[in-house]
Amino acid sequence: MSDAQRDPETDTPPAGPGPWWAGLGPVAGGVLVACGGVLLLWLVLRGSGVEEHWAQYYGAAKVVAVGLVVAGTTLVARRGGKRHAE
């Protein structure tokens, strides 16, 4: 297909640099989950209320979520790659 025939609204944009976690593997995802969990545990044991320090809880939960996404997508991609190789 030539450039004149392509519709710019249906073509996917060129891949640019991804988010900071794009190159991490499952081990790094597990480390992020562990670090976020430790931070959440520390916040709970310290006794700080959610109303007062909601941003700290939110940040720790984001670290856990990113770690779960990184580990999960990497493991699924590896498993899917093994299926296609067979």
Average model confidence (pLDDT) for the chain? 77
Classify residue 12: in a domain, yes or no: no
Classify residue 39: in a domain, yes or no: yes
pTM: 0.64
Structural domain boundaries, residue 43: 26-85
Written as tens digits, the pLDDT of the chain (86 aa) is: 455 555 555 555 556 677 776 777 888 888 999 999 999 899 888 876 777 778 888 999 999 999 999 888 888 887 776 655 55
Question: Domains in the chain: how many in total?
Answer: 1
Classify residue 51: in a domain, yes or no: yes
Per-residue pLDDT tens over the stretch 22-42: 777 888 888 999 999 999 899
Give φ, ψ of 48 to 5 degrees: -80, 135
DSSP state of 40: H
Classify residue 21: in a domain, yes or no: no
Q: Convert 10-35 into a string of H (helix), E (strand) and C (coil).
A: CCCCCCCCCCCCCCCCHHHHHHHHHH
